[in-house]
Amino acid sequence: MNNFKYSNSNKRYHTLDYYYKTRFNEKVFKVSLNAGFSCPNIDGTVGHGGCIYCSKSGSGEFAGNINDSLEKQFNEIKTMMHKKWPQAKYIGYFQARTNTYGPVKKLKELYETILKQQNVIGLNIATRPDAITDECLDYLEELNKKTYLTIELGLQTSNETTSKLINRCHSLNCFEEMVKKLREKKIDVVVHIINGLPYETKEDMLNTVKYLNHLDIQGIKIHMLSVIKDTPLEKMYQEEKFKLLTKEEYIDIVIEQLELLREEIVIHRITGDPKLDELIGPSWLTKKFCVLNDIDKEMVRRDTYQGVKSHD
């Protein structure tokens, strides 16, 4: 018997599917888009070369084709998803690279294009905390009043030494300030973290979650570090052979992270699914559903739930 209050399934953590169904009373899915943005960490504004793990598509592997218009991307992905869920509403997900990095006039044009599509109930916008200007913040506040808006911020780790190693090029302080500014405008914040970053210990990964648990965030995405072809991380991995987490280690860490997180924080993602032909390692990442099932089974075995240690 599952007694976790934010669940309508066997999950012992607060799933996105549960959150959407209770909030919107129907199935909602995200349509991933590539709007052709750059990144201040690529073009030299704050850094060059991007974060060391970032693929050529800027983490937009499953977003639409950058050569297609946003409407075409949206309709193609929507049609594909509809085969699985014929009755559903949509959230436009601006996924690849830094999706607030541009003049507000351009942002308006792109976001409004998607909001005009039928049955779109909101937007998820993935970005960096150092790429939201005050003018952009004001526009996001306005947008938040007329649609369901979520801003996704890449933190990856609370360890500043690792942050330098992965070339993140923004400080913890910058991240924290942006979370505060977004929350002052009542905008929901989802944070991305990565487990298994080079030379991080289990304690480092748990500390990242402890840190986030004390911030006013509404959701989290937990990824496992994947070493992707043609990235600085691949070169570093081939040269230094740093240790990648085993599936069992990853599951153990994720469960302990879930135990530490407040139960109302929505878990938007609990593992990644890199493209097989681009993946150097770890190979177990290609079996996403096995990882999800093993997390569920191990939580049952430990008889544990999200949030049981959130006051520690």
Q: Which pLDDT does position 248 carry in this prediction?
A: 97
Element (DSSP H or E) covering residue 239: helix 232-240
Q: Is residue 312 part of a domain?
A: no
Give 308's DSSP letter. Answer: T
Q: Is residue 9 part of a domain?
A: no
In tens digits, the chain (312 residues) has pLDDT values of: 567 888 888 899 999 999 999 999 988 989 888 888 777 666 666 656 667 677 664 444 455 566 778 888 888 888 887 777 778 899 999 988 788 888 999 999 999 999 999 889 999 999 999 889 999 999 999 999 999 999 999 999 999 998 888 777 678 999 999 999 999 999 999 999 999 999 999 999 999 999 999 999 999 999 999 998 988 889 989 999 899 999 999 999 999 999 999 999 999 999 988 888 888 889 999 988 999 999 999 999 999 999 999 876
Tokens representing residue 22 in the block = 């209770």
Q: Which pLDDT does position 1 carry in this prediction?
A: 56
Q: Which pLDDT does position 61 carry in this prediction?
A: 47
pTM, entire model: 0.92
Cα separation, 70 vs 92, in Å, equals 10
Q: Which residues contact 121 (CB under 8 A, 6 or more apart)?
A: 24, 28, 89, 90, 91, 147, 148
Q: Which pLDDT does position 169 carry in this prediction?
A: 66
Q: Which pLDDT does position 74 carry in this prediction?
A: 87
Cα separation, 88 vs 32, in Å, equals 15
Strand order in the sheet with 120-127: 28-33, 89-94, 120-127, 148-156, 188-195, 219-224, 266-269
Q: Is residue 248 part of a domain?
A: yes
Overall domain count for the chain:
1
Q: Is residue 6 part of a domain?
A: no
Q: Which pLDDT does position 60 carry in this prediction?
A: 44
Q: Is residue 3 part of a domain?
A: no
* CATH number, domain containing residue 251: 3.20.20.70
Helix (H), strand (E) counts: the chain: 10, 9
Q: Which pLDDT does position 86 carry in this prediction?
A: 77
Q: Position of tokens 């942002």?
A: 107
What range does the domain containing 98 cover? Answer: 16-302
